Amino acid sequence: MSSDGNVVTLEHVRRNHKVKTFLEAANEQMNALGYTEHGFRHAGIVAENARKIIESLGQDSRTAELAAIAGYLHDIGNSINRNGHCETAGIMAYVILNELGMPAHEIATIIGAIGNHEEEVGAPTSAVAAALILADKSDVHHSRVQNQNPLTFDIHDRVNFSVQRSQLRVDNENRSINLELETNEQYSSVMDYFEIFLSRMLMCRRAADFFGYRFKLIINGIEM
């Protein structure tokens, strides 16, 4: 227990009924709009990768926990609307975390990260924000595709469906943060990937720069 609130963990957030409801609603809306998966799977992967980045960089365990919580909550604003979802997610996260008794300074760190995770409006304003950006933008994998008809795949479906393995790894020896993908070019070309992900990769570069590291994209063993 801190002097001004409770020690809230990712597990508390995962078990929260409102969080579960909002994540389910967010993914239902995204599915209806034709987007890839933005529900429990994505939230869990982003949370764990954000935590792993902070831990791998040798930062303290509480910062790692805040990064994980930010990762889990970052897309709940999609339950309202895709447009402006990072801002609404930050407001929703504030309400939930405040109800759980989290100290205000920790809430501020989390909602600041959530509000900065989109390419159009965001920036790596803190270690938690930088870790969230890297974890979110690097979640590309065939399991995200919700469309069951390959004949109607759009470019996002094709790119995600082509990725057979995805790993986000901190290489401290070479001071780089690497997104390593194995893809099947039967479904999508490397150029397709760059067409839709270039702005995301540039944001990842800025996030890695925050830590004094390089961002590397490695596809089928070749650094791009």
For 76-145, give the DSSP string: GGGGT-STTHHHHHHHHHHHHHHHTT--HHHHHHHHHHHTT-STTT----SHHHHHHHHHHHT---GGG-
Topology of the domain comprising 10-223: Hypothetical protein af1432 (1.10.3210)
The model carries a pTM of 0.89
pLDDT, tens digit, 9 for 90 and up, residues 63-107: 999 999 999 999 999 999 988 899 999 999 999 999 999 999 999
The average confidence (pLDDT) of the chain is 89
- State both tokens at 194: 């760059």
Q: Does 83 or 152 have the greater pLDDT score?
A: 83
Task: Give the sign of the dihedral formed by CA 88, CA 27, CA 156, CA 218.
Answer: positive
- State both tokens at 64: 């790692």
**Percent of the residues in the chain that have a pLDDT greater than 70, as a whole number:** 96
pLDDT computed for residue 2 by the predictor: 42
**Spatial distance between the Cα atoms of 52 and 67, rounded to a whole number of angstroms:** 9
Lowest mean pLDDT among 21-30, 171-180, 185-194: 185-194
pLDDT computed for residue 194 by the predictor: 75
Domain coordinates in residue numbering, the chain: 10-223
pLDDT computed for residue 142 by the predictor: 67
Region 105-128: mean pLDDT is 93
pLDDT computed for residue 24 by the predictor: 96
